[in-house]
Every structure is written in structure tokens, then in C-alpha cells.
Amino acid sequence: MGIKTDLHSAIQTEFCWFEDEFAKILQSDNQLLNDVLDYIHNKRGKQLRPILVLLSAAICKGITEKTIKSAASLELMHTASLIHDDVVDNSPTRRGDNAVHKQWSNKIAILVGDYMLSKAIGLLSAVRNNTILNIVSEMTAALTSGEILQLHNGQSMWISEEQYLQIIKQKTAYLFSACSEVGAASSGATTRQQTAMRHFGMYLGLCFQLKDDVFDFSDIENLGKPTMNDIRDGKATLPIIKSLQRATKDEEEHIKELAESLANKLHHIDSFEAEQEIRSFVLRYDGIRYAHQLMEKYRKKAIAALSIFPNNKYKESLLALLDYAINRMK
């Protein structure tokens, strides 16, 4: 049973309402635009963010029409950001298929992303809630700032742990935080409830990104999904950052040289051997264990944020979502 199915027991009717609303938005009289939107709609991910919006509203004062429109708006923004990110990073695939810019072109991808953003703004306008507008505005600024920060740091792939955490907070965690806070606000939640959900979403988002970064070294954990994509893209993530802090100077210089060779696609090295050596290095210095320890720290903080709410099916579903973020296998 998948995560969405597990959560539907708490918000099944409301999630169907959201999906109907979202499907209507992704329709156009322009045939080319409609083809691209259909392609995007058929390649949707787990839709964790709209689920988070709905559950956050449900645990506070209840799901309303504002909740549905807000969830659709945030999902549109998230999808648009992925389309634009793929262009910026020149990523050839998204969820196992061609990225939009590879299926069509960079121009089409940028314009379709812009179209989705305009639809998202229209939905937010219809919500008529200044609190929600402010939350989304701050989130959008954070996402953009995080992308720029990563590009700036990309001039050198070696960043500090503090810089890394700031990037993932802005690029990933702020969106989760906005989803949970917007859900609460859309229900008419109290300030205390809204603050609690904002914190829950932030810690959930940090756990989610840390788990994604662990997957880059998945051979170590026998997850059956070898990637090393971040290293190949010239991005250092927490497992290798922490391992380099613990290594000798000679080891640090050697591993950095290997990683930079992979990132620069130099042909004088054996890619497979280089990847295995980097994975072994990260394992030897407990880089993945450290990432899991940090996830556990954030998990406890997320649970603490929900302590103001009574135990019910919505709280159980939010905790299940947190467990999924940490324990998922892909």
C-alpha cells in the first residue's frame, strides 16, 4: 500500500476534491500547451505537499474551499519550480522520463512553468487571505534565494555544513513549512496552531531532503538505487561534507580530487571505481550515520511541534508522513 493510499483514510474525500480542482486547472485550449500540461499531469509524483496542506487544515479547524485552492496553488508552484530547476541544472530526466525541456525545449519549459505560476497566483487571489499570501510570498523568495545560493556556491562544490543546511532549508524545507502553515491558516487556525504547523513542516522538509541526499550513496545502504547524481552534478551533500571533516588531510584532498573528476566528467579516471571509493570513504567516516542522526533530531522536533494537538486520525497521518520521509526506500 502506498503512502497516498495510507493517508487517504483520513482525507480521502477532500483529496479527491483537490485532484478534481487540480485537473481542471491543467487544461488549455492551446493544443501545444495542453499536450505539455497532460505530460506533466501524467508524471506527477507522490503529491506529498497537497496532502500536507490538507492534513494541516484538518488537524486545526477543518478543510475548506480555501484549503483546496491553496493546496492546488502550492502544487502548481512546486511543479513549476521543478520544471525551471531542470532547465537551470540541465537535468535530462524527471521521475524516470524526459524532463519537459528535453521532451520539448528550454523555451517551452520556461513558458509552461510561467503559465503554471500565473495559474497559481490566480488561485491565491481567489482565496482572498492576506496571511496565506504573505506565507507564499516569503516561501517563493526563500526558494529563489536558495537556488541562487546553490548556484553561487556551485563555483566550488565544497561548502560547509552550515551552508549546506541553509541551502536545503531554503530549497526544500521552506516549501514544506509553507504547505503546513498555509493549510492551518486556510482553516482559520489560531496563531499557536499555525506556528506549530509551520515548525512541523520545516522539520519534515529537512528530514525529507536529508533522506534524498542519503540516497546518493545508496549502495552503502543496499537500497538498490545507486546514483551518485549529486556528486556528478558538482554538489556536495551532508554525508560527504561530514566525512571530509573527519578525514586526514591527505584523504580529504584525494576524495575531493575524485569527486571533482566525476563532476567534470574527466575521462582519465574509472568512474565506477571512483564512485565505489567515495562510497567506502563516506561509510568509513560515518557520513550516512551522521545524516540519520540529524534526521532523528529533526524528527523529535517535528513530533514536539504536534504536541499541542489531540491524538486523532489527522495527527496519526501527519506522523505517518514524517515516518515516510525518513524511512522511504525511494
pLDDT tens-digit map of 242-299? 999 999 999 999 999 999 888 887 666 778 888 889 999 999 999 999 999 999 999 9
Q: Would you place residue 202 in the very low, low, confident or very high pLDDT band (cuts 50, 70, 90)?
A: very high
First-residue to last-residue Cα distance in the chain: 15
Radius of gyration (Cα) for the chain, nearest Å?
20
> Across residues 223-251, what is the average pLDDT?
84
3-class secondary structure, 256:
helix
Mean pLDDT estimate for the chain: 90
> What are the CA-CA distances from residue 270 to residues 191, 285, 298 (Å)?
56, 23, 38
What predicted TM-score, i.e. pTM, was given to this entire model? 0.91
| 75 HSE (CA, 13 A, CB side) | 28
CATH number of 175's domain? 1.10.600.10
Average pLDDT over residues 208-215: 93
Residue type at 82 in one-letter notation: L
Q: What total of structural domains would you count in the chain?
A: 1
pLDDT at site 226:
47
pLDDT for 221: 45
Residue 283: CB atoms within 10 Å? 17
Using alpha carbons, list the distances in angstroms from residue 156 to 159, 200, 234, 260: 7, 32, 8, 9
More confident residue, 161 or 269: 161
Q: Which domain holds residue 134?
A: 3-327
pLDDT for res 265: 76
